[in-house]
Amino acid sequence: MRSARDIARGVAAREFSAESVTREALGVIVRENSRVNAFTQVFHDFAIEQARRVDEDVAAGKPAGPLAGVPIALKDNICLSHGRTTCASRMLENYHSPFDATAARKLINAGAVVVGKTNLDEFAMGSSTEHSIFGPTRNPRDVTRVPGGSSGGSAAAVAAGMVPVAIGSDTGGSIRQPAAFCGLVGVKPTYGRVSRFGLVAYASSLDQIGPLARDCADAALVLDVLCGKDDHDATSADLPPPASLANVDEVLPGLVLGVPTQAWSPANHAGVTTALESSIAAYKKLGAKVIDIDLPLSDYAVAAYYIVAPAEASSNLARFDGVRYGRRAEGAKDLTDMLCKSRREGFGPEVRKRIMLGTHVLSSGYYDAYYTTALKVRRRVKDDFDAAFRAGCHAVLMPTTPGPAFAIGEKIGDALAMYMEDVYTVGVNLAGLPALSIPAGSMGASAAGGACVNLPIGVQLVGRAFDEARLMRIARMLERATDFAPAHAGGA
């Protein structure tokens, strides 16, 4: 499939129609989705209808939007008035949103064609897209392995060539980790850059919507559309979009990158260490200065995250009780029995576990010991990043994940092993900073431990708050120097 930029240019110039592009995308989805299970819903008629409206506007001489005719997939925790918004949960399996999320509306207004909703870990709680009522999503590079999570369906849809761009949400790495596992660029904007209105909340102080794409330029194009102040979201920043696409191809002179000592953890897979070393070498060849920095609170970020996020989830998911929202159990003896049965039937085991953990850390006698302490650690995590930027770093470079995509079922029974997949990503959410994952290498079957074509490895760049435009330029420098942009991992 063409890039999002090429599609938008071609549709605007009437070289081809939005409808033809949409039909092509829908055809690939029909062929590929049974293999990877990326989509929870495909909007065939709705997509064609959207595409025809774009073509009619172009034919009438109206200005084409920046995403004119670009097929896009939405993670199924982002509200859309068409179809259902399920969060991959029994609790919301029949929920029809009466409104569009601000992010969805911005995309549509920019000319994008929403072709469907993508699979995820239930309520975005997971790192593998195995916790879903629709079954696990499979990595297009090797269908025996996970695509990452929780935005695994969005990542798989792009990696398999079904759409050029997809939208995910990132609470602790849920865009960047799937991007790394599937060989994509995945961007988590600064907290407040993109409106959360219409995103079903997991942890409100951590959640952020962002794009997954095949290269930095496509990611920048979509990011610029998503960003901006929204009166429906009090946490959205009153700042103009970053205009990250305009200068994305410009080399940043005097670039200084900080590499944390924690990035060289002995727990890293050898391929991750090699990818990080190669990325450092590539940046140095481009004239960048690479310095050692210390992020001492990184070792505590996972523990703090798994207190703060479940605590907020416990509060946010209280509304799904069978009365106000969600599945209502039948045959209950009384109100209490109905509430208990509805939540037991509606929520899967991972969601129930996190709700109980969050309720516990907020309970009397434990609040100060756990939740208050975690908030103090959160503050210190941000202070560590701020110190690196005060030292002159334009960005921090580190691995995205400690290893490549793991086998389906390999870690689902080991909560600690699964949570440690987020060791390099959760601190960024705690600090509210922008970050992205970019392909930086791959490993073959023998190195990865199993039969596969090539498993991608990603590195992560973390930038200063609201500095997405410069962050995209820094990533683009590596992308152009190394050329790890993936070939389609499917039949597209």
Q: Which residue has the tokens 């897209």?
A: 129
Q: Please, is 238 exposed, middle or buried when counting C-beta atoms within 10 Å of its C-beta (0-12, 13-18, 19+)?
A: exposed
Give the HSE-up count for residue 150: Cα atoms under 13 Å, Cβ half-sphere. Answer: 26
117 is catalytic: no
Alpha-carbon distances of 352 from 89, 128, 316, 357, 420, rounded to whole Å: 12, 17, 13, 9, 20
* Element housing 73 (H / E): strand 71-75
- Which candidate in 150, 244, 279, 442 is catalytic? 150
Neighbours of 264 (CB within 10 A): 15
Contact criterion met (CB below 8 Å) for 320 and 355 = no
CA distance 337 to 318: 16
Q: Rounded to an integer, what distance in angstroms lies between the CA atom of residue 129 and that of residue 116?
A: 17
How far, in whole angstroms, is CA 434 from its chain's centroid?
Answer: 12
Contact 327, 122 (CB under 8 A): no
* 75 belongs to the catalytic site: yes
Which phi and psi angles does 397 have, rounded to 5°? -110, 130
What tokens were used for 309? 């996020």
Query: Exactly one of 75, 117, 341, 382 is catalytic; which is it?
Result: 75
Count helices and strands (H / E) in the chain: 16, 11
Catalytic residue among 97, 132, 174, 314: 174
Note if 150 is an active site residue: yes
Known catalytic residues are 75, 150, 174
